[in-house]
Amino acid sequence: MKEGMHLQETKGLEETVKPTKEVSEKQERKMEEFLCSQNKSLEDFKSKKIEESIQRNNPSGYCTIGLPTIEFPKFSGDGFDGWVYKCNEFFDLCKTPDDVKVKLASFHMDGKALRWHKKKMEQSPITKWEDYTRQMKLKFGAKIQGSGIETRETDATPLIDTKRPRRRICEFKGNSGEEIPKLKESHPRFGPFYCNKETKESSRFLSLSKEEAWEHLLKKSPARAAVTIEIYTSAMRKIEEEARATYDGGVVDHLSGPEFRWMMIKDGCLFLQLVLCVLGGGQQLGYPPDHIISGQKKNYKDIKELIEAMFFVGNQIPFTVLKELMKQSYFKNVIKKWKWEQPSDLCRTALYELLLLPAQEVHDSRKVFASRFNWLQQQQPSDLLHGLQLLILGPKYEGEEEEEEEEKDLEAQHDIDNKISWSATELRKVGIHFRRLNRSNGSRGIRFTNSIWRCKAYPILYLPHFYVGDDTELMFQNLRRYEISQKLDQSKQEVSTYLLFMSELIRTPGDAKLIRSHGIIQGTFKHNLELPRILRGLDLDGSYNKNLRRVKLQTNDYSPPLWTKYWQIVSFVFILTILQTVYSILQFYRG
């Protein structure tokens, strides 16, 4: 009986607890659902933040959906250059945010690479990928040959050429006591040297800002803005290392990859738009008719300011950047719309032959122009001033050996340099003639020949084209400063040497007129009268190179052969005899 009552009480208790248990289980399920929803919300929040970060670093909106899974490249210390290349490709494909690149790379390191990473982070943590790889290259990158350190080269990563360009973009420091020129406030700034020294954009041309020029390019490009941005950034990424190496003194080392690339894109696009404006194609750029760059409002002063800025030492964009930008659809379409003519002055000739002519699909078919064009392309100038220098110098004359001066001849060379040269008028009086070299030759082709023609000596001094215009003095001053900024020996400052040679040859307007009569000087009569003053004002002082020293010695030592003097006497007597005979015949018939 008691057992039955106990069982009944137990069942009653279970019936009482059962609702409570169900409520408890229901609460647990709700709690689990709540926790799941919280976790999902947290994951969604993280995904949203990551997506926002990717969008900030991916203005083009490029999507990687559908691509196969790609493993991040591993690195243990060998094949550094190949590893960095793969990392950059991975970051570019996956649009990895800049602030996680270093951390992501460290997860895939082992061996000596990981040990180096730990030590570096303990000493001075680096968060920027460009700075990190630059430091890493000092440890694991290919070493320069001859540095005393063993070079490494694997099958996967061949040894790259780490040699710097022959010429680099740098500021003009000037010689002792020489006043250093400064960019005017109204001049546009290009590149890193003067960008921090911009005070205000007060020029009428600078109302066209870099941002406005870039936005205009995006608007006028045939592709969508996102696609155009991706095209330009990819183009700059290909040549970034070469472009960075063109600048001197580590001036761009503090710039991250995106910062440097966008500087090159925006500065370069404005630079090229202004180049096309100077060459007369401003109306083809697509700006409104009343815009300053369209051509209706610009004047001589505006153009002169642009030329001063574009040829200012240090205010330069690497030539490889300008060439890459010229390949893009916007600039190609502008070039196709206009019939461009060969300029006659020096600065526009440089812009035309160095930037515009290579971008044209149909080049000049004349053999002389083709020869000079091909030679200029092979030289690969570092910037516009280097290209202008090459344009004036031209290729070495055939048969000319590489210049190698011997120390024992320095005193004799100095004596020749200080020897007074004859002017063009004086050379003509002793019988020396002048001839113009073809356009494929520059100052390196200057030479003196002395041949026999019609039983008499016929000495000829061959000179290249000499462009004279409104901007001649400015171009020559900038070239002289450029050669000084490159820290070249005086005998290697070839443009300065050439101008010194011409200043001794052209001392008076009469000398300029004589040279111009042979088609050597290109310019108006007014500019010819100004040429002697311009050359004197350059304050040239230096030594000749081997070729010009030889030409100077040959012309100064020239004197007509003795037999030519006798020939002149015989010719004079012969003419008198003829005249006397004619006179006698006339007298006979009159009588």
Least confident of 26-30, 259-263, 266-270: 26-30
Measured CA to CA, the distance from residue 16 to residue 556 in angstroms comes to 130
pLDDT tens string 391-438: 999 887 654 544 444 444 544 555 555 566 789 999 998 889 999 998
Burial label, 263 (beta-carbon count in 10 A; 0-12, 13-18, 19+): buried
Measured CA to CA, the distance from residue 251 to residue 249 in angstroms comes to 5
Question: Which of 340, 363, 381 is where one domain is finished?
Answer: 340
Whether 126 contacts 253, CB under 8 Å: no
pLDDT tens string 170-187: 888 766 556 677 888 778
DSSP letter (8 states) at residue 419? S
| CA-wise closest residue to 218 among 206, 203, 233 | 233
The pairing of strands 521-522 and 466-467 is parallel
Indicate if the pLDDT at residue 241 is higher than 60.
Answer: yes
94's tokens: 């996956």
Question: Which of 340, 360, 387 is where one domain is finished?
Answer: 340
524's tokens: 């108006």
Indicate if the pLDDT at residue 122 is higher than 60.
Answer: yes
298's tokens: 């610009």
| CA-wise closest residue to 78 among 136, 130, 148 | 136
Q: Is residue 363 part of a domain?
A: no
DSSP string of 508-546, one letter each residue = SHHHHHHHHTTT-EES-HHHHHHHHHHHHHT-------H
Specify the higher pLDDT residue, 29 or 544.
Answer: 544
Three-state SS for 298-322 is: CCHHHHHHHHHHHCCCCCCCCHHHH
Count of beta carbons in the 10 Å neighbourhood of residue 336: 11
Do 125 and 35 lie in a common domain? no
Q: Is residue 171 part of a domain?
A: no
SS3 content of the chain, % helix, strand, coil (to 5): 60, 5, 35
The pairing of strands 456-463 and 433-436 is parallel
Do 472 and 527 lie in a common domain? yes
Question: How high does pLDDT run on average in the chain?
Answer: 77
The domain in which residue 29 lies consists of 1-46
Which single residue is written with the structure tokens 């995904």?
Answer: 47
Do 450 and 481 lie in a common domain? yes
Indicate if the pLDDT at residue 61 is higher than 50.
Answer: no
pLDDT tens string 281-310: 888 888 887 777 765 556 677 788 889 999
Indicate if the pLDDT at residue 225 is higher than 50.
Answer: yes
DSSP string of 182-220, one letter each residue = ---TTS---SSSSGGG-----SSGGGS-HHHHHHHHHHH
DSSP string of 348-398, one letter each residue = HHHHIIIIIHHH-SS----HHHHHHHHHHHHH--SSHHHHHHHHHH-SPPT
Do 335 and 425 lie in a common domain? no
- Measured at the CA of 190, the angle between CA 186 and CA 191, to 5 degrees, comes to 145
Q: Is residue 67 part of a domain?
A: no
Q: Is residue 74 part of a domain?
A: no
| CA-wise closest residue to 366 among 454, 271, 276, 440 | 440
pLDDT tens string 342-378: 888 889 999 999 999 888 865 555 555 566 777 887 8
Number of domains in the chain: 5
Do 519 and 570 lie in a common domain? no
Residue 201, pLDDT score:
46
- Measured at the CA of 267, the angle between CA 264 and CA 270, to 5 degrees, comes to 135
Handedness of CA 285, 289, 291, 297 (dihedral sign): positive
What is the helix (H) or strand (E) element at residue 55, kind and residue range? helix 2-57
Q: Is residue 62 part of a domain?
A: no
Do 38 and 136 lie in a common domain? no
Cβ neighbours of residue 397 closer than 8 Å, sequence gap 6 or more: 441, 444, 445, 447, 547
Burial label, 196 (beta-carbon count in 10 A; 0-12, 13-18, 19+): exposed
Indicate if the pLDDT at residue 479 is higher than 70.
Answer: yes
Do 260 and 318 lie in a common domain? yes
Specify the higher pLDDT residue, 552 or 204.
Answer: 552
Measured CA to CA, the distance from residue 465 to residue 450 in angstroms comes to 21
pLDDT-based confidence at 461, cuts 50/70/90? very high
pLDDT tens string 128-162: 888 888 888 877 875 433 333 333 433 333 333 34
Do 549 and 578 lie in a common domain? no
Do 290 and 331 lie in a common domain? yes
Which single residue is written with the structure tokens 């012309």?
Answer: 555
Burial label, 168 (beta-carbon count in 10 A; 0-12, 13-18, 19+): middle
Q: Is residue 216 part of a domain?
A: yes
Burial label, 398 (beta-carbon count in 10 A; 0-12, 13-18, 19+): exposed
Do 459 and 547 lie in a common domain? yes
How far, CA to CA in Å, does 112 sit from each of 76, 115, 140, 153? 6, 5, 10, 18
Do 425 and 554 lie in a common domain? yes
Do 518 and 455 lie in a common domain? yes
| CA-wise closest residue to 277 among 302, 308, 309 | 302
Residue 264, pLDDT score:
95
Residue 164, pLDDT score:
43
Cβ neighbours of residue 384 closer than 8 Å, sequence gap 6 or more: 310, 311, 316, 317, 319, 322, 350, 351, 354, 355
Q: Is residue 255 part of a domain?
A: yes
Q: Is residue 189 part of a domain?
A: no
Indicate if the pLDDT at residue 7 is higher than 60.
Answer: no
Least confident of 46-55, 202-211, 582-591: 46-55
